Copies of this chain bind each other. A is one copy, B any other.
């Protein structure tokens, strides 16, 4: 990648210094009339069917101006365009590193009727994405025609699990009749057994997903599942489909009913719109619904190229997050969807954000002197209101919140109770929380005091349909990428997972009887745990 970019220090940018000053007196959301109609109407932005309201963040026009300048001074949008064009953005300059392109956006750059100005540069990746989609369409037609399969079990972990699982659950209302998708991820043997119990294996497809073809959990679970098929007198080869990198140990068409490819320029946590999500989602929702997800994501990718932060939704969200993290000093971020089917979506965004931006060195290997990615957590509302909102409202630990809501329900089945529908109750709570966190409440009883001034934003759309969900997914992918670009960290590797793997292998070697695999402390730990 560009060396000058890799040596950039965002905290030396003029806008950073301006923001430090502005953060000494952040906007007082709890002042009377702070939430004026004028403020609310000017602090909103819309793209790809999503509307972002941010009057309840602790920002002023000055702050927004400085954030825009920070984006310009760090070339945030320029870097995004470089990424989309296929420059090597996954790199630590001057040290051995993955040195890869980052081209998950190519997996949805497949629509002739949407603008494609970067096509020439990323033509190869786009071509491969189109070819895999054609193969998928063909495969799904065959499945449809033959009518042999009712269930699909996706075997994968991390990015090969969370994204596809989150999207599938979120689109419950769109599942194809008579089709079900299941997920096996954890190496926990109970999990695999529980998923397989009750399936008619003769009518079940298994989709094994591992880019490297060497992921321990996935290979183990593939064997566990295959053993079940064999015990039932079925040949895994007639049921198993592979999604893996070209040339990986798993890339062996002789062993699978069908093979699909993923590419080293798509990281696991960014892979839901590639074949990693495509096979399972296409099977469960239908090919056309999967394409709709891609379309929404593509629309949001195009929005991310807008240099005006107030019109670029993911960039705006990234900047508001940086304001909260680096200038107001908040360590966590709660994502609170007012839709039960988004329960696993939060877990996916948690992975996406924390694995991408939980980093301590910049893109030339220097420790960064400023905070990077926050701890992301959350549960659907209104449930969360009855669980952890107590702390959010009244503790002195401030938690910035991102609310997500929809104007209509997915299924349309509703009932008036006490004069309002459930959907009305849901959105009433959503808006009320945002206002309550901002304005707080005085009271003579100190235990009933709400200090207010807790920042939040609200993302709202019409109805949670495939296209909206694709836009929502890309909104977060692009937000996370923007934050990484501005912080000058590599959002696309994950060296932090290696040490645990290494040590786990030592314990496994010990279990297999290797005499000196463990040091004295490790042996003592094993014994103290009652596992020796």
Contacts and interface: CB of A to CB of B under 8 A. Distances in A.
Contacts of A135: none
Interface string A391-430: 1111111010000010101110111011111111111110
A53 to B, nearest CB: 6
B36 A520 contact: yes
A388 interface: yes
Contacts of A462: 530
Contact of A383 (B37, B161, B385): B161
A33 B224 CA distance: 39
Contacts of A432: 500-504, 506-507
Interface in A482-524: 490, 493-508, 511-512, 520-524
Given A379-B347, A521-B40, A528-B53, A499 B393 contact: yes
A109 to B, nearest CB: 27
Contacts of A414: 189
Contacts of A441: 499
A496 B458 CA distance: 21
B393 A190 contact: no
A22 interface: no
Number of copies: 2
Contact of A191 (B340, B357, B511): B340
A460 interface: yes
Which of A191, A420, A441 has most B Cβ within 10 Å? A191
A358 B391 contact: yes
A131 interface: no
B194 A393 contact: no
Contact of A460 (B162, B186, B361, B530): B530
A503 B435 CA distance: 8
B223 A417 contact: yes
A513 to B, nearest CB: 8
Contacts of A409: 188-190
A168 to B, nearest CB: 13
Contacts of A286: none
Contacts of A389: 355, 496-497, 500
Nearest to A378: B377
Given A340-B188, A382-B217, A428-B504, A499 B436 contact: yes
Contact of A423 (B189, B383, B427): B189
Contacts of A191: 340-341
Given A424-B508, A431-B522, A520-B36, A387 B158 contact: yes
Contact of A385 (B95, B220, B497): B497
Contact of A511 (B365, B428, B508): B428
Interface in A180-203: 185-194
Given A331-B332, A393-B496, A427-B507, 7 more contacts: A187-B382, A188-B426, A189-B414, A224-B417, A351-B388, A365-B445, A432-B501
16 contacts: A96-B445, A157-B382, A172-B190, A188-B422, A189-B423, A191-B341, A217-B425, A219-B417, A220-B417, A224-B417, A351-B387, A358-B392, A360-B395, A361-B449, A431-B531, A435-B522
